[in-house]
Amino acid sequence: MAKVDLDLIKQLRERTAAGFSDCKKALEEAEGDIERAIDILRKKGLAIATKRAGKEAKEGIVEAYIHANKKIGVLVEINCETDFVARTPEFQDFAHNVAMQIAATNPLCVSREDMPQEILEREKKLYEEQLREQGKPENVIPKILEGKLEKFYKETVLLEQPYIKNPEITIQDLLNELIAKTGEKIVIKRFARFQIGE
């Protein structure tokens, strides 16, 4: 395993918010390649998230965020397994950042599974009509439609949106990092966004 210098560890910590020893291990495994180290940390977060999936997340907090102009407000409920984790600065920070994300990007739902069927059907219909008007051949429409729906999910599903503070990662990646750090199941349960004039 390659010996890793402190500067690299510092850079990786800034980019991923992972702990010192996790960053050091990931960089050693990636032989000093920071991009590979980021992938290693993400996979680790995903592995822990998968392992914790069956656990109960009944503790947590409701975070409120009011935008500076007082015209947009967000309430978001985020659950975890213990009150201890709910009170940590990392958890509270995550909740605050998620609330800011919702204020900025106005998602429709937390996950794909929560997407109202009627909205999805309306989007599909709209895209199909557009593609037919553009004269696209029938046999390629389903493939193009799939791509358009993926883009729609990235824009409207909170977990799939690029994180506003670091568009290199999604909110799901951010969540997985927190799960890896706390070792608990964490769930963004629900949110409400209020905007003056809507």
pLDDT per residue as tens digits for the range 21-47: 778 888 888 888 888 888 887 777 655
Dihedral angle at the C-alpha atoms of 2, 50, 55, 102, nearest 10 degrees? 100
Per-residue pLDDT, 170: 94
Model confidence at 92: pLDDT above 80: yes
The domain spans of the chain are 6-52, 59-110+157-195, 116-155
- Given the candidates 1.10.3470, 3.40.50, 2.160.10, 1.10.286, the CATH classification of the domain at 116-155 is 1.10.286
Model confidence at 55: pLDDT above 70: no
Average pLDDT over residues 135-160: 90
Structure-model confidence comparison of residues 186 and 3, the more confident one: 186
Average pLDDT over residues 48-71: 80
What one-letter code names the amino acid at 120? L
13-17, 60-64, 109-113, 171-175: segment of lowest average pLDDT: 13-17
Query: Is residue 18 exposed (0-12), middle (13-18) or buried (19+ Cβ within 10 Å)?
Result: buried
Average pLDDT over residues 14-23: 70
Average pLDDT over residues 170-175: 93
Model confidence at 57: pLDDT above 80: no
Average pLDDT over residues 177-184: 87
Per-residue pLDDT, 184: 86
Model confidence at 71: pLDDT above 90: yes
Q: How many CB atoms lie within 10 A of CB 6?
A: 9
Average pLDDT of the chain is: 87
Model confidence at 171: pLDDT above 70: yes
> pTM for the full model?
0.70
C-alpha distances out from residue 191 to 55, 72, 77, 79, 95, Å: 22, 13, 6, 12, 11
* CATH of region 6-52: 1.10.8.10
What one-letter code names the amino acid at 162? P
Average pLDDT over residues 119-148: 88
Per-residue pLDDT, 60: 93
Residues 6+ apart with CB under 8 A from 51: none
Model confidence at 68: pLDDT above 80: yes
Per-residue pLDDT, 2: 54
CA atoms within 13 A on the CB side of 77: 9
CATH class of domain segment(s) 59-110+157-195: alpha beta
